[in-house]
Amino acid sequence: MPLHETRVTAVFATDEQAPSCSLPLAVASVSAGFPSPADDYLEGVLDLNQHLIKHPAATFFVRVTGDSMIDAGIHDGDLLLVDRSLEMVDGKVVIAIINAELLVKRVRKVGARLFLLPENQAYKPIEVQENMDFELWGVVTYVIHSL
């Protein structure tokens, strides 16, 4: 059973000077259950940068390899939006550095112990030990993958 199963293979900085990316936003919501009548009315535009990025100077994209976070909806090849300014909160999905390797895991505090949990039963949790070179790098805020 592998220990380090989902890695970050690339880190991309956001460009604070990039032009906005505004796209039409429909007023009507889309039903995931029973169909609803479609409206032809647009509410306005939605700028994805403003919607997704709250702290541009502290936000990065990272590319994922591996399948240990598949049950959290994070797939091999996905892009994650990571905000380094957010505080790590128990239960959040984070990017951590262990021994110079970037990993994506769900963080769990149990008393004074800290664990990095996979979201795939094929992998074991990682308990952070004092002898590890460990750092919480950022909090994952969004995942981007194609359907």
Q: What is the pLDDT along the chain (147 residues), one digit of tens a residue?
A: 455 567 777 777 777 777 776 666 666 666 666 665 655 666 777 788 888 888 988 999 999 999 999 999 999 999 999 999 999 899 999 999 998 889 999 999 999 999 999 999 999 999 999 999 999 999 999 999 988
pTM (predicted TM-score) = 0.78
Structural tokens at position 46: 């939605």
pLDDT of residue 99: 86
Question: Is 124 one of the catalytic residues?
Answer: no
Catalytic residue among 105, 109, 124, 146: 105
Cβ atoms of 123 and 72 closer than 8 Å: no
Question: Is 54 one of the catalytic residues?
Answer: no
How many CB atoms within 10 Å of residue 143?
17
pLDDT of residue 120: 95
